[in-house]
Amino acid sequence: MKLLSFLYLLTTLSSLSACSQSSSQKQKAETKPVQHIGGPCEGCEAVFESPVPFDELSWVDTLPDYHEPGPKMQISGVVYQADGKTPAKDVVLYIYHTGQDGKYTNKFNEKAWGARHGYIRGWIKTNEKGQYKFYTLMPASYPNSTALKHIHPTIKEPGKNEYYIDEFIFDDDPFLTTESRNHPQENRGGDGLIKLKRENGILIGERDIYLGRNIPGYPAASLQSGLAIGSNCPAFDPKHLSGIDMGKRTCPMCKYGYGQGIMVWFNHTNLDEMKTFVQRMESEMKQRGEKKFRVFMVYMNPSYKQNDATGQAVLRNKIIKWCEEQSLKRVSMVWVPSPVDEETCGIYEINAEAKNTIFLYRQRTIVAKWINMAYNEKTISEILKNTEL
């Protein structure tokens, strides 16, 4: 009789274990994406290890460490669709981080990715307003290191595969340098740098997340930016950091709108990825003549939230030096105050969530437009084949 009871118990436990192991696989199969985006992402599939089915997740979660000793923290925000305005519902956010010892502790015999990510992790699904919120303790830096305190996030949108966005990092981190403060990460999903304030003994922080922002392979069609083809290019008065008008405030359209040209409005800080592009444009301007073809690279100062006047001056000098390194004597790199400046980006209807918005104009009229293009030979060929010699 005891042997039969033991065999029954063993069979039951085996069955429960099999169910637990298959739930993650089932959840992954049910949310199979239409296309792959985001590039390689080691450990992102941990999002499917949620102990609660996706359709039952709440928009609020309390991580397992919250009631342990340590600095308590509440993080909240809104997840927006690629247009940067529409709240995105039913988006799953998976998060994990180190404990107070700076380690990813396997406290409860976690399996699969949980064995590496540790027990301090959680799953949230945005509500109808795109909101999310979680409670946890402030993570610690890795032992004997100067690594920033951080929280790892993974996004799982309906109809798309899982992908990572910028880590949650913190404005008061003692290891946060001026350089990393101005350009901390890749700006995937928007800036992950959070400014904390203390209320009733709890650290409070907010971060809004923008789907598709700087995510490789993200469908550009869902992201709208820039004036429509056929629109007239408005006047604006940017500071020129290279080209014939270097050091001056000159309206590109007022002075050069009579011909044809390209304007690249870009909202990222990685200038080096544009080397091939700007050098080719410099060559095209030299060959065609500046009266027939002009190129303006409009730097929208994506770090404007972290930069004071002094910081902006330092950044402008870095851009000027970069332009000199590329030998830009004809291509005009121009500076506007921010991606949401109404007198520049606003009148061109630039979407701050777009990595770049490229216009081809003739006699001040927009004749072609591209959004979120890579700065490679394919893009160069696509743009140039639309120009008139």
Inside any domain, residue 264 = yes
Which of 210, 239, 259 is where one domain is finished? Answer: 210
Position with higher pLDDT, 363 vs 388? 363
Q: Which domain holds residue 232?
A: 224-384
Band (pLDDT 50/70/90 cuts) for residue 19 is: very low
Band (pLDDT 50/70/90 cuts) for residue 320 is: very high
pLDDT at residue 313, rounded to an integer:
86
Percent of the chain with pLDDT over 70: 88
Instruction: Let me know: does 214 contact 82? Beta carbons within 8 Å.
Output: no
pLDDT at residue 35, rounded to an integer:
61
Which of 153, 187, 210 is where one domain is finished? Answer: 210
- 196 and 244, same domain (yes or no): no
- 258 and 299, same domain (yes or no): yes
For 288, the 3-state DSSP assignment is helix
Average pLDDT over residues 361-375: 92
Q: What are phi and psi of 137, to 5 degrees?
A: -100, 155
Looking at residue 264, the DSSP 8-state letter turns out to be E
Inside any domain, residue 141 = yes
Inside any domain, residue 22 = no
Band (pLDDT 50/70/90 cuts) for residue 4 is: very low
Model pLDDT for residues 278-297, shown as the tens digit of each residue: 999 999 999 999 889 999 99
Closest to 155 measured CA to CA, from 98, 194, 74, 212: 212
pTM over the 0.75 mark: no
| Apex 150 CA angle, 149 and 152, nearest 5 | 160
- 44 and 119, same domain (yes or no): yes
Model pLDDT for residues 77-93, shown as the tens digit of each residue: 999 988 777 899 999 99
Helices (H), 245-296: 252-256, 275-288
- 170 and 76, same domain (yes or no): yes
pLDDT at residue 121, rounded to an integer:
97
pLDDT at residue 221, rounded to an integer:
52
Average pLDDT over residues 117-134: 97
Residue with tokens 């979120």: 372
- 100 and 136, same domain (yes or no): yes
pLDDT at residue 220, rounded to an integer:
63
- 73 and 35, same domain (yes or no): yes
- 357 and 273, same domain (yes or no): yes
How many domains, the chain? 2
- 169 and 310, same domain (yes or no): no
CB crowding 162-189: b at 16 or more within 10 Å, else e: bbbbbbbbbeebeebeeeebbbbbbbbb
- 200 and 59, same domain (yes or no): yes
CATH number of the domain enclosing 109:
2.60.130.10
